[in-house]
Amino acid sequence: MAREGQAAAGRALAGPAAAEAALAAWPAPKAGFTAAARAEAEARLRVAGLPGRRDEYWRFTDPAPLLTPEPAASAPLRVDRPIFEGFDKLRLVFVDGVFDAAASDDPALAGVEIARLAEAGAADIHWARGLYGVLEAAGQSPVARPFAALNTARAADGLLIRVSGVAPRPLHISYRQSDPGSEAMLHHCIRLEPGAEMTLIETGTAAARANLVMEVDLGEGARLHHIRPQGRAHGRRVISHLFARLGAAARLKSFTLSMNGAFTRNEAVIDIAGDHAVAHVAGATLGDGADGRFVHDDTVFVSHGAVGCESRQVFKKVLKNGATGVFQGKILVRPGAQKTDGYQISQALLLDEDSQFLAKPELEIYADDVKCSHGSTTGAIDETALFYLRSRGVTRAQAVSLLVLSFLADAIAEIEDAALAAEVVARLEDWLARREA
């Protein structure tokens, strides 16, 4: 009965009425160059409505936590030593979804132009005009992504970043939450001009509930290395969209680490538009339902529209105590995208019988000379390996932790920088150690 009640509530909230309510709840920002994009996004959202459980791409993940008028409260997590703290990088801070200049570094980085959407958005002429809402709009087909449209229509803040050389230091967007009831909507536009390179780090919890959109446009030969440890606050709810378009020989590597969080939906929409481009999207997730509800959903769409390109999707989830993991991943190879090398793997390690993993891998191929493969597995801890470790004196809990790290290794290997990868592993070890007891 309770389940039916929830479904009924979800239905009542979804659809065009919910879209109207959301548009009304978020004030329209003063729009300069973004005006047209915002108006179009608003129109798209009105047509699509906000999703309910009945929508095909929301069957596994109930969007209800994103649809309530107010976000459920989430206590901000005090982190003693934030991840990547010791690394040399340019830090830009958002607190509860608003840029905090005082807490940020001076946004001066050679070859990198940084502006706030909240300030630059009022201007009529801006380089980001060709990007803001453009990749998001293109990413609405074949599957509607209404929360991203809402974001384009209403996001008041975010960063507009243009890179024209090799960024000398990583750029770090640091999200912080101070208000247990805060709600954030941020929209970033990032353009790497031909040959440009940058490492982009996103860390922390943006708000109790956050809707984050990032549009990434990579020019010919540009390289973006994106690393995103999502905030560990137990109650946080987030939907994020990464829209990326790759020019010829461009290279995108995106890795997301998720530990904790009541609700996470990360969508990645990758448009491989130039020949010989490479796009890797990876994620490592640790979910413990004992800390509260845990739902983690990766929904990925990779579209190959050029010759000789490579894509990888590597997603690993470790779930316990009733945690739920979802993976929906698609590789689309368009006509003429010959010599495509597409690969997708999603795996879950269930540490008990209460947790579940739901996977929907899809391949759609319209070219005949391609190499595409996908796989999905759900399994438990390997008893033979567990015994081997314990026979050497390692406690059962420690042995499980080592096997969890072993399981996640392929996803972590997608982080190119060894020092950043080591820091991620250290955080995983800390998380696991806290739960060994």
The tokens 């759900």 sit on which residue? 378
- Residues in CB range of 3: below 8 A, 6 or more apart: none
Interacting span for other proteins (CB under 8 A) from 18-26, 146-154, 158-166, 377-385: 377-385
If one counts every other C-beta atom within 10 angstroms of the C-beta of residue 41, the result is: 26
Give the burial string for 103-117 (b: 16+ CB within 10 Å, else e). Answer: ebbebebeebebbbb
Toward other proteins, which CB reaches closer, 153 or 399?
399
The tokens 């997590």 sit on which residue? 77
Interacting span for other proteins (CB under 8 A) from 4-12, 255-263, 358-366, 406-414: 406-414
Residue from 407, 423, 424, 435 that binds other proteins (CB under 8 A)? 407
Residue 421 CB, shortest distance to other proteins, in Å, is 11
Among 156, 320, 286, 182, smallest CA distance to 238 is for 182
Query: Whole-angstrom Cα distance, residue 375 to residue 346?
Result: 6
Is residue 421 close enough to count as binding other proteins by CB under 8 A? no
Interacting span for other proteins (CB under 8 A) from 3-11, 116-124, 236-244, 392-400: 392-400
Is residue 409 close enough to count as binding other proteins by CB under 8 A? yes
Please list the alpha-helical segments (H only) found in 63-158. Answer: 64-67, 117-120, 134-138, 146-154
Chain-centroid distance, C-alpha 436: 28
Is residue 398 close enough to count as binding other proteins by CB under 8 A? yes
Is residue 384 close enough to count as binding other proteins by CB under 8 A? yes
Is residue 390 close enough to count as binding other proteins by CB under 8 A? yes
Is residue 408 close enough to count as binding other proteins by CB under 8 A? yes
Among 339, 334, 390, 329, smallest CA distance to 361 is for 329
Is residue 64 close enough to count as binding other proteins by CB under 8 A? no
3-state secondary structure of 325: strand
Q: What share of the chain is helix, strand, coil (3-state, %, to 5)?
A: 25, 40, 35
Chain-centroid distance, C-alpha 312: 15
Residue 228 CB, shortest distance to other proteins, in Å, is 21
Toward other proteins, which CB reaches closer, 78 or 392?
392
Among 60, 61, 103, 28, smallest CA distance to 262 is for 61
Toward other proteins, which CB reaches closer, 155 or 257?
257
Backbone φ and ψ of 119, nearest 5°: -100, -50
Is residue 403 close enough to count as binding other proteins by CB under 8 A? yes
Is residue 366 close enough to count as binding other proteins by CB under 8 A? no
Backbone φ and ψ of 66, nearest 5°: -90, -10
Residue from 7, 9, 405, 421 that binds other proteins (CB under 8 A)? 405
Residue from 12, 75, 168, 388 that binds other proteins (CB under 8 A)? 388
Find out whether 115 and 160 touch, Cβ atoms under 8 Å. yes
Backbone φ and ψ of 314, nearest 5°: -130, 105
Residue from 2, 393, 418, 434 that binds other proteins (CB under 8 A)? 393
Q: Are strands 112-116 and 251-259 parallel, antiparallel or unpaired?
A: unpaired
Is residue 387 close enough to count as binding other proteins by CB under 8 A? yes
Q: How many residues bind other proteins (CB under 8 A)?
A: 24
Residue from 383, 418, 434, 437 that binds other proteins (CB under 8 A)? 383
Structure letter (DSSP) for residue 129: G
Residue 216 CB, shortest distance to other proteins, in Å, is 29
Toward other proteins, which CB reaches closer, 36 or 426?
426
Toward other proteins, which CB reaches closer, 275 or 417?
417
Toward other proteins, which CB reaches closer, 75 or 413?
413
Backbone φ and ψ of 288, nearest 5°: -120, 110
Residue 287 CB, shortest distance to other proteins, in Å, is 19
The residue type found at 57 is: Y
Is residue 396 close enough to count as binding other proteins by CB under 8 A? yes
Residue from 389, 415, 420, 432 that binds other proteins (CB under 8 A)? 389
Toward other proteins, which CB reaches closer, 45 or 404?
404
Point out which residues bind other proteins (CB under 8 A): 383-385, 387-396, 398-399, 402-403, 405-410, 412
